[in-house]
Amino acid sequence: MTRPFRFGVQCYAPASGAEWRVLAKRAEDLGYSAFHLADHVIGPGPKLAATNHPVQTVAAIPAMAVAAEATSTIRIGCRVLCIDYRNPVMLAKELATLDFFSGGRLEVGLGAGWLENEYEAMGVPFDPPGVRLDRLEEIIALLRQCFGGGEVDIEGKHVHATGFQAVPTPAKQPPLMIGGGSRRILGIAGREADIVSLNFDNSSGKIGPAGVGSSTAELTERKIGWIRDGAGTRFDEIELEIAAYFTVVTDDVTATTERMAGMFALTPAEFAEHPHALIGPVDAICESLRERRERFGISYVTFGAAAMEAAAPIVERLTGT
């Protein structure tokens, strides 16, 4: 099954509330289908510096609300909310409220958490991966119940929620995105998600060559296999999403590719076909996206806010095709 293309924008650090509103509205006007944040909390300091992660200046949930208020058609979401940063019932309530006020435009993104230094800085226990993934599965079940109407009744190892009806109740279940780069989470995503967000294997706890190297074209094919294993017969119902973290619209392809490949200990040939990289003029990038959709099934691509304007001709040309 070939899905039509759609595109999102992800933003971490608006300079002001006014700029945030402008960015969201501009993404909508340019034809992007979704406007996203990530879900990170701590600011500059030694804990964050050790991870190589950029600063996210605004909290995800209220920033999503502001983006929803500034727009009228674009989906509002997060790639992805960390399940350990909020009480699960409160998370369900906040998400349902966002869906309510946005008129059903919420796109729910969930992840099991990975930035250990952030957990430590906040005083949040960083459980082993298996425990965090068990918790993710229980929270998915909770959200399904809270969004589905009726009485909530979950008595799990990690989630306790019984004896109440969750309100507000969305008119329909918001699409669920699950993101990650390891075998188990992608298997869970294949079984449970409407959208699977392919990401690095971030088990190192920092951004760098190890994570980027875990998502080469060859290893992405293996990840698609893990999703397929989890999905079984429902695989064709899943939308596959990826962040084009390394997008450069340029005619200087060779030098740009060589420079960026060297940053992550990859060869230029490996980086040229890296699923998270799009380097070249508009025509060439469009062709690469078509080829990658044919190879991997990826039809949903998210650009960083810094590339939003440069990628707009790509969005205009490919959306819906």
Has residue 321 got a pLDDT over 90? Answer: yes
The per-residue pLDDT for 205 is: 86
Crossing angle of the two packed helices 308-318 and 17-29, in degrees rounded to 10: 20
Span 260-271, pLDDT tens digits: 999 999 999 999
What domains, with CATH codes, occur in the chain?
Answer: 6-318 (3.20.20.30)
Positive or negative, the CA dihedral 128, 210, 219, 119 is positive
Return the closest-CA partner of residue 301 out of 247, 258, 263, 233. 247
Assess contact for 35 and 27: CB atoms under 8 A.
Answer: yes
The per-residue pLDDT for 218 is: 96
**Average pLDDT in the chain:** 96
Span 160-179, pLDDT tens digits: 999 999 999 999 999 999 99
- Residue 5 carries which side chain, given as an amino acid letter? F
- Mean pLDDT within 185-206: 94
Q: Hey, what are 203's tokens? A: 């088990």
Has residue 298 got a pLDDT over 90? Answer: yes
H, E, C per residue of 107-131: EEEEECCCCHHHHHHHCCCCCCHHH
pLDDT category of residue 204 using cuts at 50, 70 and 90:
confident
Between CA 301 and CA 318 the distance in angstroms is 11
Has residue 61 got a pLDDT over 80? Answer: yes
CB proximity list for 79: less than 8 A, separation 6 or greater: 8, 10, 36, 37, 38, 109, 177, 179, 197, 241, 243, 302
pLDDT category of residue 1 using cuts at 50, 70 and 90:
confident
- Mean pLDDT within 227-248: 97
Span 7-48, pLDDT tens digits: 999 998 998 999 999 999 999 999 999 999 999 999 999 999
Q: Hey, what are 253's tokens? A: 């392809």
Has residue 126 got a pLDDT over 80? Answer: yes
Backbone angles phi, psi at 248, to 5 degrees: -135, 110
Has residue 155 got a pLDDT over 80? Answer: yes
The per-residue pLDDT for 206 is: 87
Crossing angle of the two packed helices 17-29 and 60-70, in degrees rounded to 10: 60
Q: What percent of the chain has pLDDT over 70?
A: 100
Has residue 208 got a pLDDT over 80? Answer: yes
Return the closest-CA partner of residue 280 out of 291, 294, 266, 265. 291
Q: What percent of the chain has pLDDT over 90?
A: 96
- b (16+ CB within 10 A) / e for 101-117: ebeebbbbbbbbbbbbb
The per-residue pLDDT for 110 is: 98
The per-residue pLDDT for 203 is: 85
